[in-house]
Amino acid sequence: MLLYVVSVTLKGQDYFGFRFTTDINSYEIKYESINDLIIIHLALNDSSDLNFILDSGSKHTILFYDDTLHCPLKMLNNKPFEIAGWGQMEPHKGIATFGNTIQIGDVKGEQLQVIGIAKSQMDVSPYFGKKIDGILGSEIFKYFKVELNNQKGKVVLYRNSFFPDNYRKAPSIPLIIDGEKPYIKGVVHFEDGTQDSVTLLIDIGDTKALNLIIGSSEQIKTPQNFIYANLGVGLNGLITGYLGKSDKFVLGNTTVKGILTAYPDELSLEQFVIRPDRNGSIGMGYFSKFNCLIDVANQLIYLKKNSHFKDPFLYNRTGIELRAEGENFRTYFVGGVVPYTPAYIYGLRVGDQILEIDGHRAADFSYEQINSILESHEKNFVALKIKRGNTEKYVILNLFSLFKDE
Q: Whole-angstrom Cα distance, residue 145 to residue 135?
A: 19
Tens of pLDDT, residues 313-371: 888 889 999 999 998 999 999 998 988 899 999 999 999 999 999 999 999 999 999 99
Same domain? 277 vs 338:
no
Q: Which of 98, 114, 149 is where one domain is finished?
A: 149
Tens of pLDDT, residues 135-170: 999 999 999 999 999 999 999 999 999 999 999 999
Tens of pLDDT, residues 174-197: 999 988 889 999 999 998 889 999
Please count the other Cβ atoms lying within 10 Å of the Cβ belonging to residue 27: 18
| Residue 284 vs residues 18, 131, 322, 333: alpha-carbon distances, Å | 24, 20, 19, 25
Looking up residue 344, the CATH number of its domain turns out to be 2.30.42.10
Same domain? 263 vs 292:
yes
Q: Based on the structure, what is the number of domains in the chain?
A: 3
Same domain? 80 vs 40:
yes
| Residue 51 vs residues 42, 48, 174, 264: alpha-carbon distances, Å | 7, 9, 31, 27
Same domain? 186 vs 295:
yes
Res 69: pLDDT = 61
- Of 78 and 62, the one with more pLDDT: 62
Which range, of 199-213, 267-281, 329-343, averages the lowest pLDDT? 267-281
Domain coverage including residue 66: 17-149
CA angle (225, 346, 392) in 5-degree steps: 145
Nearest to 34 by CA among 367, 323, 286, 320: 367
For residue 10, being part of any structural domain is answered with no
DSSP for residue 90: P
Res 240: pLDDT = 79
For residue 382, being part of any structural domain is answered with yes
Burial bucket for residue 312 (CB in 10 Å: 0-12, 13-18, 19+): exposed
Same domain? 123 vs 95:
yes
Banded pLDDT at 87 (limits 50, 70, 90) = low
Same domain? 248 vs 336:
no
Looking up residue 48, the CATH number of its domain turns out to be 2.40.70.10
